[in-house]
Amino acid sequence: MDQLFNRRYIIQGLFIVIALILLGKLFYMQVASDKYFLDANNNALRKLYVYPARGVIVDRNHKILAQNQPTYDLLVIPNQVKAFDTLSLCKIIGIDTVEFNEKLRKAIVYSRGRASIFQKLLSIETYASLQEKMHNYSGFFVQNRTIRYYPDSIAGQFLGYVKEVSPFEIEKHDGYYKPGDDIGKSGIEKFYEPYLRGKKGVKHVLYNNKNVAQGSYADGKLDSLAISGEQLVTTIDSRIQKLGEELLAHKVGSLVAIEPSTGEILAFVSSPGYDPNKMIGRETGNNYSELSKNPYRPLTVRPISGRYSPGSAFKPLDALIALQDGVIDANSTFFCPGYFMSGSRKVKCEHVDLNTNLRWGLSRSCNTYFFNIFAKMMTKNGVKNQRATYEEWQKKVRKFGIGDTLGIDFPGEKAFKLYRKADYDRMYKNRWNYNTVLSVAIGQGEITTTPLQMANIMAIIANRGYYIKPHVVKGIGNNELIDKKYKEKHFAGVDARHYDPVIDGMQDAVNTSTGTAIESRLRNIIMCGKTGTVQNSQNGGKNHSVFIGFAPRDNPKIAIAVIIENGGYGGSYAAPIASFITEKYLTDSLSGRLINGSSIEKYKADNLLPALIAKPVKRVVKADTTKKSDSTNNSLPIKSKTPQVKINSTAILPTKQVIKPKK
């Protein structure tokens, strides 16, 4: 009997324990924990991403280049959509029912239960109209974000643009980005994307059965704040950037200016350019398509990818290596009768300079002088060792930043090729000497550079022997820290004492009446420079106008390279344009040119865009199959009236065995 009594209490106790456990679990589910509430009310509780403001981009003087403005996105969760008047929604957001159905189909393919963007970039007016009727559109809701705005509409290729993320990029960035998010696609918007994008926040919002927001869930305890992107302080001076774009309007070319002592890029102009505001908003796709089809290629970033022979602008570098090797000194002279004998070939010089020393040779851009220098350098170790000597020489050229990328903090930099001994061995089957490659002595033939590399050579000469890697950002965030590699000195391998004789010649090129760069002379500022006239082998038009230089001579503040395609002699366009930029940067003022009195408006207005070469497209008219074939039919293919357009590329390809002396 006692056993039965005890067993009854044990069973009762077990029931009580089980009941307490169930009650405790129920309390935890309904009071202490949100998990089950959220699962049961998923159709009324939405997790919204709070997009951070993208980091502002400013110039070196903290003038805003890129900022943000508000916009709104319409999102949809397909399995929450109920029947409604689709035409009403279409009218508000400005689409038709066909587009509506296609957008909804894409949302379903992505996920029936997860939110995705249905329509991007709604205006404030559209957002206001939509909010009044959101209760009619079950499954739809609005999310706010910011988009880019460029107040001065300058530096399109430099700043780059932001565009919707691709599936590949979503995968690459480990889920940070969602479909419909934006990401930097080019320029510094791309290179500095991790700093500019910020960190997304999350907000949990309750909606009632009429699709109206009721506020944050649980007083926002599950929410997280968005963190804005870092501010970028660029090295660009917007004053000369804007002026450079105006001067290069209606022209194909590039302009790069560097502060020699720091490697900071002051101007980064690629022409033709585009208004960066064209790459934001709902017309971005159409505008991008229009730009990509433009035969003058405004999307090409010429400062780092334009391929140009340096021409006579290479001569100062050539002279420096000859001085370092002891092949010449500042007083070495060569006789210029108006030509140079290259083996059995007579290569004409632009003028007769007679007995010519280094200073005169640079100021007059005497090709004969530099052909002689090159011949002496290639034969200094004996005639039989010319090819090995060339290999040593090209290694010294590379120390000036030619033949490889410079490592700028900007995507898409190209190096192009400086031929090595092995390249010529393959080309000529080991049968070549300095006469074979003589054109490289005056910066032509198998030597090509970018405008950035040309400007960097001037920075080396301005610094008397070293450069700091060119870069476009000088500060990130409040601490304004940058990579240490953009503060290290890189030496070119030429002693400082050899630079002054070369600089003397560059000074005379600008500041004497016989100099080739006289059009770049400035009042009260000693500018040193060198013109170049590069062969145009692409469309038979004028040669390309090149100028490289720096100012002032002592304690230089700016080094510059300007290339104007189809501009003719270096002194015609590149030199005066460079002087306007230099004058503006150093004095914040502008005046007419001293020699010809030309105003800045003349250079802005001149149109040098190369002519488009149209070729007719042949179309063959097929025979009418309803008629009998006629073996005697003499009809010819009909030429279409629609021209096929070709245009001169920015690339100036190397030319073999062609030496056309120019200034």
Q: What is the pLDDT of residue 5?
A: 53
Q: How far is CA 657 from the centre of its chain?
A: 34
pLDDT tens figures, 624-640: 443 444 433 433 333 33
Query: Quick check: 393 pLDDT over 50?
Result: yes
Average pLDDT, the chain: 85
Give the residue from 496, 529, 492, 490 showing the smallest Cα distance to 510: 529
Partners of residue 562 on adjacent β-strands:
255, 547
What does the CA dihedral 322, 327, 332, 338 come to, rounded to 10 degrees? -70
Query: pLDDT band at 475, cuts 50/70/90?
Result: very high
pLDDT tens figures, 160-215: 999 989 888 988 887 788 887 889 999 999 999 999 999 988 877 777 766 666 66
Q: What are phi and psi of 525, to 5 degrees?
A: -135, 125
Whether 545 and 574 have beta carbons less than 8 Å apart is answered as: yes
Query: pLDDT band at 48, cuts 50/70/90?
Result: confident
Q: What is the pLDDT of residue 167?
A: 87
Query: Quick check: 141 pLDDT over 50?
Result: yes
Least confident of 146-150, 232-236, 392-396, 538-542: 538-542
Specify the higher pLDDT residue, 526 or 481: 526
Is the peptide bond between 167 and the residue preceding it cis, with omega within 30 degrees of 0? no
Q: What is the pLDDT of residue 641?
A: 37
DSSP letter (8 states) at residue 588: S
pLDDT tens figures, 142-163: 888 888 999 999 999 999 999 9
Q: What is the pLDDT of residue 180?
A: 79
Report the pLDDT averaged over residues 429-436.
93
Q: What is the pLDDT of residue 479?
A: 74
Least confident of 92-101, 106-115, 633-642: 633-642
Strand pairing class (64-76; 140-149): antiparallel
DSSP string computed for 516-570: TTGGG-BTTB--EEEEEEE---SSS-PPEEEEEEEE-SSS--EEEEEEETT--ST
Query: What residues contact 107, with CB distance under 8 A and at least 6 apart?
Result: 76, 78, 116, 118
What does the CA dihedral 380, 384, 388, 392 come to, rounded to 10 degrees? 10
Whether 405 and 415 have beta carbons less than 8 Å apart is answered as: yes
Instruction: Give whichever of 58-62, 92-96, 112-116, 416-420 has the largest mean pLDDT.
Output: 58-62
Q: What is the pLDDT of residue 538?
A: 65
Report the pLDDT averaged over residues 51-66.
94
Q: What is the pLDDT of residue 224?
A: 83
What does the CA dihedral 632, 634, 638, 644 come to, rounded to 10 degrees? 110
Choose the CATH number for 239-605 among 3.40.50.720, 3.40.710.10, 3.40.630.40, 2.40.37.10: 3.40.710.10
What gap in Å lies between CA 13 and CA 93, rounded to an integer? 65
Q: What is the pLDDT of residue 337?
A: 94
Whether 569 and 545 have beta carbons less than 8 Å apart is answered as: yes
Q: What percent of the chain has pLDDT above 70?
A: 85
**Rg of the chain on CA atoms, in Å:** 34
Q: Residue 226: left (phi > 0), alpha (psi -120 to 50), or beta?
A: beta
Take residue 597 and report the two structure tokens written for it. 């009195």
Looking at this protein, which amino acid is placed at residue 519? E
Q: Extract the runs of DSSP E, i.e. beta strands, from 260-338.
A: 264-271, 334-336
Q: Extract the runs of DSSP E, i.e. beta strands, from 22-63.
A: 45-50, 57-58
What gap in Å lies between CA 313 and CA 448, rounded to an integer? 12
DSSP string computed for 124-183: HHHHHHHHHHGGGSTTEEEEEEEEEE-TT---HHHH--EEEPPHHHHHHTTTS--TT-EE
What gap in Å lies between CA 136 and CA 307, rounded to an integer? 58
Whether 424 and 452 have beta carbons less than 8 Å apart is answered as: no
Q: What is the pLDDT of residue 116?
A: 86
Whether 474 and 235 have beta carbons less than 8 Å apart is answered as: yes
pLDDT tens figures, 271-285: 999 999 999 887 888
Q: What is the pLDDT of residue 29?
A: 53
Write down the CATH superfamily of domain 45-231: Penicillin-binding protein 2a (Domain 2) (3.90.1310.10)
Q: What are phi and psi of 270, to 5 degrees?
A: -125, 130
Whether 191 and 203 have beta carbons less than 8 Å apart is answered as: no
The structure tokens 């089950």 sit at 36
> To 10 degrees, what angle do helices 499-511 and 315-325 make?
150
How many residues are there in the chain? 663
Cα end-to-end distance, the chain, whole Å: 125
Q: What is the pLDDT of residue 26?
A: 65
Report the pLDDT averaged over residues 379-408.
95
pLDDT tens figures, 524-537: 999 999 998 887 76
Query: pLDDT band at 58, cuts 50/70/90?
Result: very high
pTM of the entire structure? 0.81
What gap in Å lies between CA 309 and CA 416, rounded to an integer? 10
Report the pLDDT averaged over residues 64-87.
90
Q: What is the pLDDT of residue 565?
A: 93
Report the pLDDT averaged over residues 91-108.
92
Query: Quick check: 315 pLDDT over 50?
Result: yes
Q: What is the pLDDT of residue 399?
A: 96
What gap in Å lies between CA 566 and CA 250, rounded to an integer? 11
Take residue 572 and report the two structure tokens written for it. 């015609």
Specify the higher pLDDT residue, 493 or 342: 493
Query: Quick check: 241 pLDDT over 90?
Result: yes
Q: Please give, one letter per residue, the 3-state secondary structure of 246-269.
A: HHCCCCCEEEEEEECCCCEEEEEE
DSSP letter (8 states) at residue 616: E
Q: What is the pLDDT of residue 79?
A: 87
The structure tokens 């969760």 sit at 77
Query: What residues contact 88, with CB distance under 8 A and at least 6 apart?
Result: 133, 136
Specify the higher pLDDT residue, 23 or 268: 268
Whether 520 and 529 have beta carbons less than 8 Å apart is answered as: yes
Whether 361 and 351 have beta carbons less than 8 Å apart is answered as: no
What gap in Å lies between CA 483 and CA 407, rounded to an integer? 12
